[in-house]
Structure 1
Amino acid sequence: MKQYYRPIAQFDPVRPEGALPLAGGWCWFDAVEVLDRAGGRARIAAGDLPQPVRARLTEPRSEIAGLGMDSPRVMGILNLTPDSFSDGGLYKDLAPALSHAQEMIAAGADVLDLGGESTRPGAQDVPVAEEIARTAPTIIALRAAGARVALSIDTRKSAVARAALSAGAEIVNDVAAMEFDPGMTGVVASAGAAICLMHAQGDPQTMQAAPAYDDVLLDVYDYLEARVAEAEAAGIARARILVDPGIGFGKTVAHNLALLRGLSLFHGLGCAILLGVSRKRFIGALAGVEVARERMPGTLAVTLAGVAQGAQIHRVHDVAEVVQGLRLWEAIRKGAA
């Protein structure tokens, strides 16, 4: 029976003998939870891991678009749409989009994720030409203005990704993990770009109808493991792959919490982890906050919980607030004056 290994992440400055680095980052572990689909759970010492598993869990992650993965990174969300769930319509025109992008860069964003199609529950597909028209000009304008941050295109469509990469983006953030458009693998492989593979059950129109899993943590892990293997077979090196468990995409509140509690399991895929929880509905449900734009405190709390499990990239709307929170977290962890 297949076994799954979840490193129990720690970040205390005092490390016991035998502790191993987690993904070459700021966390370490000296114990591992071993799971299987029969409900088995056991705890073993890190030193007792099978060597291939140990290597996947400990090897430093490669740079993504020039960004080291040895410290938490902030990805600012730039929705160039009229209908995104919390900021739809605010940045659909070029001038406000550029202004907001510069604000996020000044606030400390390491990467910007530009999207021309909403993937909120119930969202409709956007024609390819329209999605390109919403995104490529903004990427071109940002590069022309000298923006030095990494740029990511949030799309499921290969033609949109190709246009964005040609305009100056370096990362493709595909919520369908290259299953919506089979041409995505060739575009990413030939461009030498990085890609984020996200798990979603269903599509935006149906994903929240009745999500169900045998074991959400293990099901999502197996799905991403298979998609990483598919990407590698298509010529996309594992070093250029990010994985995202897809919080809120075909998941109930309980599913989301299970994924967040077990987040460190995904380090076993040998890829950097992207976590996107910003302003999502489950935060509102748990915090009793109906208005999405008022969920920043909950977003920061969940983001820091992800950082505590070694997640490397955090996709957020409220860049300044999250950057400030991360600076304080780092100062406490390191004891910096």
Structure 2
Amino acid sequence: MTVTDPASVALTEAAARARGNVAAALRLPELHPDAFPLPGSGNTWRLWTSLAVLGSVDLTVARAVEPHLDAVAILSEARAGGHLADTDSSNGDDEARWGVFAAEGPGARLVADESGPTPVLDGRKPWCSLAGSLDRALVTAWCDGSTRRLYAVRLGPTNGVAVDEAAWVARGLPDVPSGPVTFTRSEASAVGPPGWYLERPGFAWGGMGVAAIWWGGAVGVALRLREQLRRREPDQVGLMHLGAVDAALHAAESVLRGAAVAVDSGAATGPAGSALALRVRRVVAGTAEDVLERVGHALGPAPLALEEEHSGRVADLQLYVRQEHAERDAAQLGRQLLDHDTDREVLW
């Protein structure tokens, strides 16, 4: 990844100033709006490059910015489809900091009650990143026994929202607490019909945007290897690892570039878009894991033990890339390839 245009250089410098500071990170989309166009608007590669830049500088910054941008894109998609109600939960506050809470987990279930004039949410939602630092969130909740729906919710105790930040004990991304949140009769507004959140094209696009951050995070780790090998004449093993890392990062970049073209051309929708997202995320996650292993082998234990920045980058990337579900996502991709005729153009 080469960052030479003035806008990317400015974003890199701004991300460096915001390093480790969630509040400063959340201001970046407002301060650099041109860096973050909506996905599918014809500038998806620009968006993903900007996300990768953030990831290469500091994954805390990227992890704070990405859900806000995802929420903005979801609201735009809902508005374009006529699915967005004109309520104060989802309109009229351009300065609101948004999150997206859509994960499920054992022992936690969030239920929506739509029997009254205003839907209310009750229950517990896992993996709610930065819930204590945000104004609002888009949250999935069960609207019946088998279907989830997306809701816009104002966060904070005045709306019955309680954040359990003490549950977050991660060594990676320690400044991005992603613990559970309890909702008690929390007023909300529906965004899209039941099932729309998972069925819309932007669901796949957002998942690939996260992969762009993993790619950037891997670049950040790889730079430490290149720096080390420039300090002294490398041996063949060091050169081998550097060459392999470069090839892996190039492959991930090429896959992301191709996916961005597909998104902007309208080809990444429906089953094809879902399969593409799984494929892209698997390739980029594999690249990140390969980079982590090779850099670790090449550098040995000293940077992990003695360098706060490098050891933090490694821990952050190891945790972040686990948003990809590894073998389970590969199996899901295999199932989709058998169930849907999505890949007539590929040779195999």
Using the size of structure 1 for normalisation, the TM-score is 0.28
Which has more radius of gyration?
2
Name the one with the larger strand percent.
1
Using the size of structure 2 for normalisation, the TM-score is 0.28
